[in-house]
Amino acid sequence: MPAGKYGLFFTISADNNGQVILSKDHESWGSFFYDSSQDVLRAPIEIRTLPATEMLTFNFLNNTKNSTELVLDFEKKEFPVKIEFDVDKIVMENAKKELKGSTGFTWLGFASAANYALQNKTNLEQALAWSDQAVAQNNSFATLSLKSNILNQLGRNDEAEKIIKNAIGQATEIELNNYGYQLLNNGMQDKAIEIFKVNTQQHPKSANAWDSLGEGYFLKGDKKNAAVSFKKALTMNPAPNVKANSEKYLKQMGEM
């Protein structure tokens, strides 16, 4: 249906069935001058009964990612209209258009579009192509890890593993730490511990890196190594939040 302004009309029958009508005539007052030749859409609806509503009221109910229900309440009748959109298709088409303009001159535009597709598991081959363009403009942990995640989602795990190994060598302390927690949240405890270990090796004086390694061990059930890591973090004059976290776990384990 073409974009534009439309008038909204309803019909109702004795059996509580009805129709919602969109009309090209959006300027006429009420239904007094309704002209069916101006209709652009008619769809059946089932009228609902509700407690008396004095004022005409519009609401949006039952919202989901791809749909909502527009309801008009008046007197003792509710007129529901379900509205649906293919949100992923709309976003993907818009991204393609935007990336042909100024947005396409930065890696962030390509990375953002690829990440949306990854998170919503849609258009993954296109997402991979976008991630390649992001990497070409900014070869970094952010872009390489994005590409690796897309490859994993496509089932190309060997390629993904090679890329993430390359990415780890370029990662900052914060990026490694966040990646480790991402793995933990996905139930990949052993891989998370590997990443946390790398972070302590690359940043041996970081209390937060040792604290995160302690969490990795604790969640795996290795309390011995968890205690060693937390105690190591506490020797480094950690920030208050890091200190509180290490002490919390040590108390749970009876180590304090």
Place of tokens 């990440």: 115
Q: State both tokens at 82.
A: 């379900």
Whether 89 has a pLDDT exceeding 70, the answer reads: yes
Average pLDDT in the chain: 93
Q: What is the pLDDT of residues 29-44, one digit of tens each?
A: 877 888 999 999 999 9
Section 214-218 average pLDDT:
97
Q: State both tokens at 16.
A: 């509580």
Quote helix, strand, coil % in the chain, to nearest 5: 55, 20, 25
- pLDDT confidence of 254, banded at 50, 70, 90? very high
Q: For the stretch 190-227, what's the b/e string if a residue is b when 16 or more beta carbons lie within 10 angstroms of its beta carbon? A: ebbbebbbbbbeebeebbbbbbbbbbbbbeeebbeebb
Whether 2 has a pLDDT exceeding 60, the answer reads: no
Long-range contacts (CB closer than 8 Å, 24 or more residues apart) made by 94-97: 95/130
The confidence score (pLDDT) of residue 16 equals 80
Rounded to the nearest 10°, the torsion over CA 183, 189, 192, 193 is 170
**Is the separation of the CB atoms in 72 and 53 below 8 Å?**
no
The confidence score (pLDDT) of residue 12 equals 84
Whether 3 has a pLDDT exceeding 60, the answer reads: no
Whether 209 has a pLDDT exceeding 60, the answer reads: yes
Half-sphere exposure of 177 (CA within 13 A, CB side): 15
Pairing of strands 17-23, 48-61: unpaired
Q: What is the pLDDT of residues 222-238, one digit of tens each?
A: 999 999 999 999 999 99
The confidence score (pLDDT) of residue 87 equals 96
Q: What is the pLDDT of residues 45-68, one digit of tens each?
A: 888 888 888 888 999 999 999 999
126 by DSSP, 3-state: which?
helix
Q: State both tokens at 78.
A: 């509710």
How far is CA 244 from each of CA 204, 205, 220, 236, rounded to the nearest angstrom?
A: 20, 18, 21, 13
74 by DSSP, 3-state: which?
strand
